[in-house]
Structure 1
Amino acid sequence: MKIGIVSDSHGSTRAIDRMLSHPAAEGVTLWLHAGDITPDAEYLAMVTEGKAKVRYVAGNSDWPEPGARYDDVVEAVGHRIF
């Protein structure tokens, strides 16, 4: 399993698209988005649907975001990531 970590995209879907076009993003099956801005993580989930799972939490620029998670524990390949 290859895990990608991203944060602080601040509303730029163009930045998400550029990130995904980078060779290092090839083969990522789990993306962890650490906030700022949660709709960016939803966009990431939409454009990677069927290729990768996306888990995300809200960041400091997302506060207060109704229904947003501010922490999460992800279990992947026998490891727990907080």
Structure 2
Amino acid sequence: MDAAWCLRTKWRRLIWDAIGFGIVVGQKVPELFSPRWEEGWERPITDWQDELGISELLKTSPFQDEFATIYGFNL
């Protein structure tokens, strides 16, 4: 695989935004690894967001467009 994609300005900015956002989420919501995800597949993602207290935090995500495309609604 060609690594040149990571040198493109558009992708580089997105990568750094993702890293920064991931650090913020990890600091504010350290219990993301403790829920038993496999027991809640049928639950809507918005239920998980509310239970974990990350609904407001996700509104600062640099991936608003991607989230809307994948899940069909805006944060």
Bucket of the pairwise TM-score, normalised by the shorter protein: under 0.3
- Give the helix-richer structure, 1 or 2: 2
Of structures 1 and 2, the larger Rg is shown by: 2
TM-score by length of 1: 0.23
